Amino acid sequence: MTKSANTMWGGRFAAGPDAIMEAINASIGYDRRLAPQDIAGSRAHAAMLAACGIITDNDAEAIREGLLTVLSEIETGKFPFSTALEDIHMNVEARLRDLIGEPAGRLHTARSRNDQVAVDFRLWVRDQCDQADAALGALCGALLAQAEAGADWVMPGFTHLQTAQPVTWGHHMLAYVEMFSRDRSRFADARARMNTSPLGAAALAGTSFPIDRQMTATALGFDRPMSNSLDAVADRDFALEFLASASICAMHLSRLAEELVIWSSAQFRFVKMSDKWSTGSSIMPQKRNPDAAELIRAKVGRIFGANVALMTVMKGLPLTYSKDMQEDKEQTFDAADNLMLALAAMTGMVADMTAERANLKAAAASGFSTATDLADWLVRELGLPFREAHHVTGSLVAMAEGKGCDLPDLTLEDMQSVHADIRDDVFDVLGVENSVASRTSFGGTAPSQVRAQVAHWKEVLK
Ligand code: ARG
């Protein structure tokens, strides 16, 4: 049996679509998430049409009430979604017609699904920017609490994952506050740029009806209408900027997740993850696995993937709308959902983890971590050129390594056998506490600097 033609545009069609055509064409399976935005857009549009004398006040009122009913049906799970009606726009409009009859047919005056979907998706992505900002604020708060507690706890700082110089726990936590705060500003920039309204661009060329685009823009919280109707329906930069910001943020999450995986291992024991954020093994009773951190590390892949996928969808499209653009939504939804989940999980893990202070300190002192302090002392106190000081220090590190001890364990005689002028007060700089306390340059790891930065961030995050 041939299906009957679509009631929305079937005028020139004798038959309905093939079942496979319907399957590839329908987006209602996922774009139903845009229902609140779609209804908000339609309400703004209908109110504007009435204000501009394009439809009657009575019709606008019937549309308004009908849309509220549709929204409540959707919210309560009573809405009869239909795949034959393809997408959220046609599902809502068809139901509106069932509910209010003829006035429903006037809603689509001076509008197309092209500007409609651009509005809906833009509103949705804008909301995600706000949610990302709030979630990042909470994560920064958890990191800041760790930083404040451990402003002067020493730990090894790494380059190449080799012990480099001692740093403070607070300093390390604040590095992530900086990163996640840049993410917030990226989402804020994207939000500001996307906050213009495509509504009224209609199919692509604008409309001959005397519409008021500023009115709908204002009603939907946009700063202004977009100035070019072709651009308005063809643009998906807003989703790409969201996904690009999400990708960078996810990369930051993954780096922190990676550190938590390493730090919570038996080999490092820098942090103890709370029971709330650990899982056990069904066979190995000793295990405490950092699954949430691992999953965050992995979820980054799908967020990057969504960004690449949409870039790829868009790159070959001639202006203006092509159905390819329907593929903008599903992966953006997935990326946003997983970003929010990852941010929430990271916030919980960071808030509930315990730094193992004694282990951090022991590790900080191992691996000749104060070799640079020794070289600096030779420069400052003995006037050696830094290159020579580097060489002398290297010899002393080799000596300590040969003796199986750390630099502070060498005797003064050991030191003087390499450079005769070395004095007893060199030992002051070889301790890790002194080492970090000396790094007082702006942005350095000294507890005094860390406390100043904690105070700064407390103000910012208030
Ligand atoms: N479901 C479509 C999408 O997501 C809505 C726009 C359809 N426009 C069209 N001219 N077929 O892109």
The confidence band for 14, taking pLDDT boundaries of 50, 70 and 90, is confident
> What's the pLDDT tens digit per position in 426-452?
998 898 999 999 999 999 999 999 999
Per-residue CA distances from 24 to 19, 145, 317, 358, 425 (Å): 9, 50, 19, 59, 77
pLDDT of residue 1: 44
Average predicted confidence (pLDDT) for the chain: 95
* 156, containing H or E segment: strand 154-159
> What's the pLDDT tens digit per position in 62-94?
999 999 999 999 999 999 999 999 999 999 999
**326 or 11, which is more confident:** 326
Annotated active-site residue 456? The verdict is no
Strand partners, 354: 272
Residues 140/180, Cβ–Cβ less than 8 Å: yes
| Ligand 1 residue neighbourhood (C-beta within 6 Å) | 27, 31, 87, 89, 113-114, 117, 321, 323, 325-326
The mean-pLDDT minimum among 33-47, 321-335, 426-440 falls in: 426-440
d(CA 400, CA 408): 9
Residues 118/442, Cβ–Cβ less than 8 Å: no
Ligand 1, closest atom to CA 87? 1
pLDDT of residue 3: 65
> What's the pLDDT tens digit per position in 269-313?
999 999 898 888 777 777 789 999 999 999 999 999 999 999 999
Residues 138/78, Cβ–Cβ less than 8 Å: no
pLDDT of residue 73: 98
Give the SS3 label for residue 290: coil
> What's the pLDDT tens digit per position in 92-129?
999 999 999 999 999 999 999 999 999 999 999 999 99
Q: Which of 185, 281, 366, 395 is catalytic?
A: 281
Strand partners, 168: 154
Per-residue pLDDT at 359 exceeds 50: yes
Per-residue CA distances from 11 to 5, 6, 15, 111, 362 (Å): 8, 8, 10, 18, 79
Question: Angle 445-451-452 (CA atoms, 0-180°, nearest 5)?
Answer: 95
d(CA 411, CA 233): 76
Residues 29/82, Cβ–Cβ less than 8 Å: no
For range 232-244, the mean pLDDT: 98
> What's the pLDDT tens digit per position in 132-151?
999 999 999 999 999 999 99
Question: What distance lies between CA 317 and its chain's CA centroid?
Answer: 27
Place of tokens 């049996």: 1
Q: 131: exposed, middle or buried (C-beta count within 10 Å: 0-12, 13-18, 19+)?
A: middle
For the chain, give the percent of residues with pLDDT over 70: 99
For ligand 1, atom 2: residue with the closest CA: 326
d(CA 105, CA 69): 17
> What's the pLDDT tens digit per position in 336-349?
999 999 999 999 99
Annotated active-site residue 160? The verdict is yes
Question: What distance lies between CA 446 and its chain's CA centroid?
Answer: 30
pLDDT of residue 310: 98
pLDDT of residue 13: 83
For ligand 1, atom 12: residue with the closest CA: 326
pLDDT of residue 2: 53
pLDDT of residue 284: 79
Q: What's the 27 CA to ligand 1 centre distance in angstroms?
A: 9
